[in-house]
Chain A
Amino acid sequence: MNVRPQMTVALLLWAGTVAPPRQTPTFSSRVEAVRVDVLVTQDGQPVRGLRPADFAIEDNGVPQQVDLVSSEQLPLNVILTLDMSSSVAGEPLEHLRRAGRAVMDGLRTGDRAALITFSHVLAMGAPLTADFGLVRRALDASEAIGSTSLVDASYAGMVLGESDVGRSLVLVFSDGLDSAAWLSADEVLDIARRCDAVVYGVSAGQSPKSDFLADLSETTGGKLFKAESTKDLSAAFLSVLDEFRHRYVVSYSPRGVSPDGWHQLTVRVKGRNATVKARPGYFAGS
């Protein structure tokens, strides 16, 4: 569940509503909104056209009034966080580059993308940019060598993703297990509970898979896609992008709950037998 406690004014600006800065005194009460990124599916297909009244949200068991629901029209920040360790060398690297380029081809005007690559070395291939050619060139220049700092790179992807206004998808690909990170899985999962970026993990192949990537995807309200082989990465990456575009951003102003600590969230869709995917909670004030 994507949660962003923030000023309502910021939310309105971000949602595309024209709210000139000069009008900010209207929101001077500094009421914080919570933003929840939600995927709603029925029979495996995204459910479209939902409105605020269709959602029921409980914050620590207390029903909340949903204020806004936004969907596909919101621009995306896509942070590609890609494993370039030695296990990816050769044909899998070309598959990975192709998958990254496919994501660039699937982005729209207003979207932005960044590329983080990792082996034991964590590197910024391209900063968050609307120039997708920059990301493509960085993909083409990437090499596969060394061990795997999956946990470090996932952390960097989340921090980069939440550092900007907009709706952030952190797409993390790894074909194996972490073998070189400094940060621990527990440390980064703890941060994930405080962060509003949504992580979609993608794994490939038959080698042992990282529990961390599954846990991180679950904690942030994302999902882990498992590709049979790296040949299927383009399809997997595009599925992630497509699914993310069909998610809703639901916001509410918390009432009747503590202003800090862990908040357990429950999100339902009224009157439908729909499956709702969202983060399980958030840390207020973090």
Chain B
Amino acid sequence: MSHDAAVILVTPPLSVVVKTIRRLFLALTIILAFGGGSAREAAAQWVAARSVTPQATEPLAGVERLRDWLTAVERHEPGEVDGPALAISRWSRFELDAAWADLRALLDRANGVASRFQRSGEAATIKTGSGPLTLAGAKDLLRLTDDEIRRRDATRIVKRAAVLHADLAVFVSLGLLVDHSRGYRTFLVDDGRRVGSDTRDYHWDFGRTLLDAVKPDPGGDAMVQLWYWASSAFMTRRGDLAGLEPHTEHARRLLPTSAVAQFFSGVLHETFASPRIQAAIRGTKTEIGSEESESRKAERFFRQTIALDPAFVEARLRLGRTLAVAGRHADAAAELQAVASATDDPVLQYHANLSLGREEQALGHRDAARSAFERAASLAPRAQSPYLALSQLSRRYGDKAGARRALQPVLDLPARESEREDPWWYYDISAGRHADVLLTALRKPFLGGVTQ
């Protein structure tokens, strides 16, 4: 995605995040990317970063910077806000891109020197800004084997580095580290209105760049797949739609047979179609489409998800809801009924029944609608939405007393938000509810200084 395209970042306030995960889901903030001037600025930064790529005959100027980055990659303990993470969090986007360019250049030159040595026994050196570097010195710096240099394969480094930069993105997002990487700028919007601007970090973008270099095939690599799953879930849970858009686009290209990549693409566009985002973009120039067009895109992605993985129940739930938006009530009800029967996950059960009730009502099936709403209410007794739905159903059929009775549990609920719980409030971000588990799984192979 180009940097001048309008995107959205939805993120809860820091204080909410620090307290509890539950509160993390509540007050949502929306950020829209700047167009125009910021696009030019981003483009200029990109050009500047690329311009540091050393030419084949030039000495490598940034060897010490590369050494610092590789040392941090090696020493960072995944999941910990440690010294290496703190050190790299202070780097700019320019420095990160330059370090990566230097690594690739050094690997190329080391490969060239090694080839020449193998052919002629000539012991050449690599010119750097810090003096000549021997092949042994380059190998020591890169921590790569002869075979890896011969294959120009930095997979072990980039995988571990991708975990470091995933951690940095997470820590910055949670407010545990201050970002200096300076990705593209965004508008900040809260409760349906723009309230300022912000700059998002560059670490997810940088992680994608790194993992593209995994050999032999990044798309077929299990760690790469898990990295995209965990990161997409985390961005979804944070409501980081600005990050999720280019992320899912890249994931679909890299992992064309991944149901997960299709699923999160669907979640992104379903969220774009939601009232909270549609409200936020009113009067704003943006590439985000109308509720209908975004919903159609979401439907396409959810159908592709199911085609790749017919057992992907959450995709069926979301497909059902997009069909409902399109007014295809019978099709929607069929999908939602299938979900309600197929899963034990209480979150999915709740959403399936609540949405199923609405579709049954639209089809004129009053009793079925009531049953579905009641099942949703039983799954989340402190939720207001099922009772509102039940009340509305009664009132729609002329039962005033029934409407009042059905509403009463809502009016009896405590007023304090901390004592309330309605999964509907978190629907947009609930697809990311397993982010912590996935991040833990991603970090596990790299714990204790292990380099795969």
Bound pair (A, B): yes
What's the dominant secondary structure at chain B's contact region? helix
**Considering only CB atoms, which chain B residue lies closest to A208 in the complex?**
B282
Q: Using C-beta atoms within 8 Å of the partner chain, give the interface range for chain B.
A: 35 or more
Cα A66 to Cα B424 in complex, Å, equals 47
C-alpha spacing A193/B33, complex, angstroms = 41
* Residue ranges of B at the interface with A (Cβ–Cβ < 8 Å): 26-28, 190-193, 275-276, 279-280, 282-283, 354, 384-385, 388-389, 391-392, 395-398, 400, 403-404, 407, 410-415, 417, 420, 422, 424-425
* A19 is an interface residue with CB less than 8 A from chain B: no
Distance in Å from the Cβ of A83 to the closest Cβ of chain B?
10
Give the CA-CA distance A62 to B279 in the complex, in Å. Answer: 43
What chain A residues lie within 8 Å of B422 (beta carbons)?
120
Q: Are A86 and B400 in contact (CB under 8 A)?
A: no
CB of A253 within 8 Å of the partner chain:
no
Whether A148 pairs with B27 at a CB distance below 8 angstroms is: no
In the complex, whether A152 has a CB less than 8 A from a CB of chain B is: yes
Q: State A87–B400 Cα separation when bound (angstroms).
A: 33
Is the CB–CB distance between A120 and B283 below 8 Å?
no
User: Does chain B have a CB within 8 A of A269?
Assistant: no
Instruction: Give the number of residues in A that approach B within 8 Å (Cβ atoms).
Output: 41
Q: A74 an interface residue at 8 Å Cβ cutoff?
A: no
Q: How far is the CB of B32 from chain A (nearest CB, A)?
A: 14
A156 to chain B: which residues have CB within 8 Å? 388, 407, 410-411
A190 cross-chain contacts in B, Cβ below 8 A: 396
- Of A176, A179, A187, A191, the most chain B CB neighbours within 10 A belong to A179
**B400 to A179, Cβ gap below 8 A?**
no
A207 to chain B, nearest CB (A): 5
Task: Find chain B residues with CB under 8 A from A285 CB.
Answer: 398
Q: Does A40 contact B (CB under 8 A)?
A: no
Q: How far is the CB of B107 from chain A (nearest CB, A)?
A: 49
A176 touches B279 (CB 8 A): yes
Are A146 and B392 in contact (CB-based, < 8 A)? no
In whole angstroms, what is the CA distance A208 to B407 when docked? 30
Which of B283, B385, B400, B420 touches A163 (beta carbons < 8 Å)? Answer: B400
Q: Is B395 touching A194 in the complex (CB atoms < 8 A)?
A: yes
List 28 A–B pairs whose Cβ atoms lie within 8 Å, in order of A's numbering.
A86-B27, A119-B417, A124-B411, A124-B412, A124-B415, A147-B192, A155-B388, A156-B388, A156-B410, A156-B411, A159-B407, A160-B407, A176-B191, A179-B191, A179-B192, A179-B276, A179-B279, A179-B280, A182-B354, A182-B384, A182-B385, A183-B388, A183-B392, A190-B396, A191-B392, A191-B395, A208-B193, A285-B398
Q: Is the CB of A121 within 8 A of B384?
A: yes
In Å, the complex CA distance between A208 and B424 comes to: 24
Give the residue name and chain of the B residue nearest to A120 (CB): B425
- Considering the complex, which residues of chain A in the window 96-150 have a beta carbon less than 8 Å from any beta carbon of chain B? 117, 119-125, 127, 145-148
Interface flag for A37 (CB, 8 Å): no
* Chain A: minimal CB distance from B148 (Å): 51
- The answer to whether A177 and B395 touch across the interface, beta carbons within 8 angstroms, is no
A218 in the interface (beta carbon within 8 A): no
Residues in B neighbouring A188, C-beta threshold 8 A: 392
Looking at B191, B193, B397, B407, the one whose CB has the most chain A CB atoms below 10 A away is B191
A10 within 8 Å of B (CB atoms): no
Decide if A286 touches B398 in the complex (CB within 8 Å): yes
Q: Is the CB of A147 within 8 A of B392?
A: no
Q: Tell whether, in the assembled complex, residue A87 and residue B190 are in contact, meaning their CB atoms are under 8 Å apart.
A: yes
**What's the minimum C-beta distance from A209 to chain B, rounded to whole angstroms?**
10
Give A198 Cβ to nearest chain B Cβ, in Å: 16
Contact of A146 among B26, B282, B411 (CB under 8 A): B26
Residues A121 and B417 in contact, CB atoms below 8 Å apart: yes
Q: A155-B392, A182-B388 are in contact. Are A86 and B415 (CB under 8 A)?
A: no
Residue pair A145, B192 in contact (C-beta under 8 Å)? no
Does A180 sit at the interface, judged by CB under 8 A?
yes
User: Cβ of A123: which chain B residues have Cβ within 8 Å of it?
Assistant: 413-415
Which listed residue (B28, B404, B407, B412) contacts A147, Cβ 8 A? Answer: B28
Residue A162 at the B interface, CB < 8 A?
A: yes
Contacts of B424 in A (CB 8 A): 182
Measured in the bound complex, the distance between the Cα atoms of B16 and A86 in whole Å is 13
Q: A121-B420, A122-B384, A147-B27 are in contact. Are A183 and B275 (CB under 8 A)?
A: no
Is A204 in the interface zone, CB < 8 Å from B?
A: no
In the assembled complex, A178 has its CB within 8 A of some CB on chain B: yes
- Bound form: Cα–Cα A80–B411 in Å: 14
Chain A residues closer than 8 Å to B396, beta-carbon distance: 187, 190-191, 194
A195 at interface by CB-CB < 8 Å:
yes
- Contact check: which of A85, A117, A181, A191 meets B191 at CB < 8 Å? A85
**A87 to B413 alpha-carbon distance, docked (Å):** 23
Q: Write out the residue numbers on chain B whose beta carbons fall within 8 Å of the beta carbon of A195.
A: 395
Q: Which residues of B contact A85 (CB under 8 A)?
A: 191
The proximity string for A residues 160-178 relative to B, scoring 1 for CB distances below 8 Å and 0 otherwise, is 1011000000000000111
Asked if B190 and A145 sit within 8 Å, CB to CB, the answer is no
Q: How far is the CA of A201 from the CA of B410 in the complex (A)?
A: 23
Known: A159-B391, A194-B395, A208-B279. A152 touches B384 (CB 8 A): yes
* Other contacts beyond A179-B191, A181-B275: 20, CB < 8 A: A86-B191, A87-B191, A87-B192, A120-B422, A121-B384, A122-B384, A123-B415, A124-B410, A124-B412, A145-B27, A155-B388, A162-B400, A177-B275, A183-B388, A183-B389, A188-B392, A190-B396, A208-B193, A208-B283, A286-B398
Q: Which 10 A-B pairs have the closest CB atoms?
A: A182-B385, A123-B415, A179-B276, A177-B279, A124-B411, A286-B398, A87-B191, A208-B282, A163-B404, A177-B192
Task: Give B384's nearest chain A residue, CB to CB.
Answer: A122
**B388 partner residues in chain A, CB cutoff 8 A:** 122, 152, 155-156, 182-183
B190 contact from A86, A162, A187, A191, Cβ within 8 A: A86
- Considering the complex, give the chain B residue whose CB is closest to the CB of A162: B400
B385: shortest Cβ distance to chain A, in Å?
4
Cα A180 to Cα B30 with chains together (Å): 14
Inter-chain contacts of A148 with B (CB < 8 A): 191-192
A210 to chain B, nearest CB (A): 9
Complex: how many Å from CA A255 to CA B407?
34
- Taking a contact as CB atoms closer than 8 A, the residue among B276, B279, B395, B414 that contacts A159 in the complex is B395
List of B residues within 8 angstroms of A176 by Cβ = 191-193, 279
1/0 per residue, CB under 8 A from B, across A18-36: the answer is 0000000000000000000
Closest to B406 in A: A159
Would you give the shortest CB distance from A134 to chain B, in whole angstroms? 13
Query: How close is A162's CB to chain B, nearest CB, in angstroms?
Result: 7
Kindly supply a per-residue 1/0 record for chain A positions 193-226, scoring 1 wherever the CB is within 8 Å of any chain B CB and 0 otherwise.
0110000000000011000000000000000000
